[in-house]
Structure 1
Amino acid sequence: MLPLSNAHPEAAIVGRIWRPGLGPCLVAIRDERAIDITSPILPTMRDLLEHDNPAATLRGAPGEDIGALTDLVAASHEAPGDDDLRLLAPCDLQAIKACGVTFAASMVERVIEEQAAGDPARAEAIRGRVGSHVGDSLSGLKPGSPQAIKVKEVLQAEGLWSQYLEVGIGPDAEVFTKAQPMSAVGWGAVVGLHPVSKWNNPEPEIVLAVTSRGEIVGATLGNDVNLRDVEGRSALLLGKAKDNNASCAIGPFLRLFDGTYSLDDVRGAELALEVIGDDGFTLEGHSSMAEISRDPADLVAQTIGRHHQYPDGFFLFCGTMFAPVKDRDGPGQGFTHHIGDEVSISEPALGTLRNKVQLSTDCPEWTFGTAALMRNLARRGLL
């Protein structure tokens, strides 16, 4: 299955690949062919996105046809080595940021994680108690509104107020650093779980590409791997829960905004998730951007501005409404990953991001960082 089988034929689609003997390259996808457009003018994804009209620049960029998309996908699926042909995450020099607790459904689950102190065995009973007080009352509630303030007062009186509700319905969004520049993995790579975690899940999300000027210029898919027990013990462990070796997957490609695709399409996106385990277990879920509590443009505005600049731009995870409760290992235990799970995140306009789950300690180490990229581009005469 091609990761872009449902994409619009005129879509402006760009990605990054590793070419043997060369290194990271920019590729335009044209007629299901991969065209290497790397040049001194476009040495990085960051440089492409900083153009006034990235989609037009992409369409006008000359390049070398390096093969069919099917061949690139097949090569990426075979656990390639350091210098083998493969898909990379579409971001390079950009910061990788994420927003949390942007959907009512996942907001309630974060409260449950906190009250359970990261213990999945306690979650079922707490879910019933919290649900009896909260239910769906948070759906459609505008963060920071007078109505949200009233809900906060009620929940505080019931002893159910939480730091997760604060960022979920309060005026300020949760924005954190998901991963370091150059550390995200792409389609076909293994995605990592910290070995201390025993309760975790995938998080299917839309990821926005934002320039240094704060302009949203495209979108892709991401898996914001979540360690529910680690973060549930303390929100101060967010860094340990979120930023680990291979714990951030982005891809398969970046679709640029143009006449065929815009931020309004992102606002109406419907993400589907499928997990297939070696044990025969399957899990399906979805995340509808129409149900997000904060508009994507507001999330970007809270991330960049006079208070914080990103000279190389950033990729921003928008959050998810997906919080699985389907029992896997026993009644009341809910869902957690098993090693070898295949995770597929799909959206008709953006394709499919597929990765297999492994422990972070068993994933390939991240060794190619920003300094390595600069040396590589300089050696190739691209800087």
Structure 2
Amino acid sequence: MRYYQLREEGTPRLAVQTTDGLYDLTAAKPQLRTLEDLFTAATIADSSLDRVAERLLDGAAVLSPDVLDADGDGDDGAVSAPISSGEVWAAGVTYRISEEARKAESSMEDMYIDVYDSERPEVFFKATPSRTVGPDERVGIRADSEWDVPEPELGVVLSDGEIVGYTIGNDMSSRSIEGRNPLYLPQAKVYDRCCSIGPCVRSADSVDDPHDLEMWMTISRDGEVLYDDSTNTGKMVRSVEELVDCYTSHNAVPEVSVLLTGTSLVPDDDFTLREGDLIEIGVEDIGTLSNTVVEV
């Protein structure tokens, strides 16, 4: 099942998409307005998200799939980020190409030599809800950066530290700032509109294998495709469980959080994002996350 957060005149509504259609769960149970509400209900019922949702389908209003389509004006789509609370964290250098890119951009490339093969993965804080946008909203590039790229990633959705679903994440990054000094990583990664997630959360029970999902990204400018490539999450050297364990161990994680698992899609070194560019990231069985770019 896929879970969407809908906006209706500023009021959140929770929808679920099954093989039979799209349903308004809030219409069936007004107390369920967000996915976080459903997490709580599943915990209380000692059940899974999908089982709780299935029991509500008979009383849920059927929605047209058209409500999931953006209206195209940049920041006013009907679908919001599927998670509205908690934190976003990220893992780095989980794919070989990511290690190569970090070494190529850095003035201190030896910093990255052992990360890919090390026992301990790189896990870092990425964003708060106020810095995170949803589908069809604008992601940011820093005005003090000369080299900026999107990083498409499979996102793991956690409730009380347990894996409950998967989403798509865009870990926006300033390669020029991080390249000057690895200690500048927080400034290269954490800023206004630095992250997008969505368009939905696919329940963990409905994903056969998170380590075998096709992922693709296109970047367009003025209608021209400048970048188009694909990969598979099977190329990730770490397992989802390993990354989650590193993130949650010895850490007071929030009740709800998202962990991005790294990227193996990296544009050429002569490419940088510009304001107005369109980024589209797709992951098999989840959907497509689209965002335009704005300077912040």
Shorter-chain TM-score above 0.5: yes
Say yes or no: does 1:74 pair with 2:70. Answer: yes
Say yes or no: does 1:93 pair with 2:39. Answer: no
Q: In the alignment, is the contact (CA less than 8 A) between 1:36 and 1:66 conserved in 2?
A: no
Say yes or no: does 1:204 pair with 2:129. Answer: no
- In the TM superposition, 1:130-209 aligns within 5 A as 162-209=110-157
Paired positions, count:
288
Q: What secondary structure is seen at the aligned counterpart in 2 of 1:99?
A: strand
Identity of aligned residues (%): 29
Deviation at 1:313, TM superposition (A): 2.7
Amino acid at match of 2:148: N
The whole-number CA distance in structure 1 between the counterparts of 2:221 and 2:146 is 16
- In the TM superposition, 1:303-314 aligns within 5 A as 303-305=247-249, 307-314=250-257
C-alpha distance after superposition, 1:75-125 (max 9, x if no partner): 3x32355xxx6211111222211111111111011011113x7xxxxxxxx
Deviation at 1:41, TM superposition (A): 4.7
Say yes or no: does 1:58 pair with 2:47. Answer: no
Deviation at 1:355, TM superposition (A): 1.0
Partner of 1:23: 11
Q: What secondary structure is seen at the aligned counterpart in 2 of 1:18?
A: strand
Seen in structure 2, the aligned counterparts of structure 1 residues 290 and 47 have a Cα distance that, compared at 3 Å, is same
The whole-number CA distance in structure 1 between the counterparts of 2:261 and 2:70 is 29
C-alpha distance after superposition, 1:201-235 (max 9, x if no partner): 111110011121x3211111111111110111122
Q: In the alignment, is the contact (CA less than 8 A) between 2:219 and 2:228 conserved in 1?
A: yes
Seen in structure 2, the aligned counterparts of structure 1 residues 48 and 182 have a Cα distance that, compared at 3 Å, is farther
Q: In the alignment, is the contact (CA less than 8 A) between 1:183 and 1:246 conserved in 2?
A: yes
Partner of 1:374: none
C-alpha distance after superposition, 1:135-154 (max 9, x if no partner): xxxxxxxxxxxxxxxxxxxx
Amino acid at match of 1:274: T
Q: What secondary structure is seen at the aligned counterpart in 1 of 2:134?
A: coil
Partner of 1:349: 285
The structure number with the bigger radius of gyration is: 1
TM-score, length-normalised on structure 2? 0.89
Say yes or no: does 1:236 pair with 2:178. Answer: no
Amino acid at match of 1:324: P
C-alpha distance after superposition, 1:226-254 (max 9, x if no partner): 11101111222222111222221111110
Q: In the alignment, is the contact (CA less than 8 A) between 2:94 and 2:261 conserved in 1?
A: yes
What residue ranges of structure 1 are gaps of 5+ in the alignment?
Answer: 1-11, 118-159, 326-332, 361-383
Deviation at 1:34, TM superposition (A): 4.8
Q: In the alignment, is the contact (CA less than 8 A) between 2:218 and 2:225 conserved in 1?
A: no
Seen in structure 2, the aligned counterparts of structure 1 residues 341 and 269 have a Cα distance that, compared at 3 Å, is same
Partner of 1:144: none
The whole-number CA distance in structure 2 between the counterparts of 1:89 and 1:184 is 8
TM-score, length-normalised on structure 1? 0.70
Q: In the alignment, is the contact (CA less than 8 A) between 1:55 and 1:257 conserved in 2?
A: no
Q: In the alignment, is the contact (CA less than 8 A) between 1:208 and 1:315 conserved in 2?
A: yes
Q: What secondary structure is seen at the aligned counterpart in 1 of 2:234?
A: helix
Partner of 2:212: 268
The whole-number CA distance in structure 2 between the counterparts of 1:66 and 1:186 is 23
Which shows bigger deviation, 246-255 or 234-243? 234-243
Partner of 1:358: 294
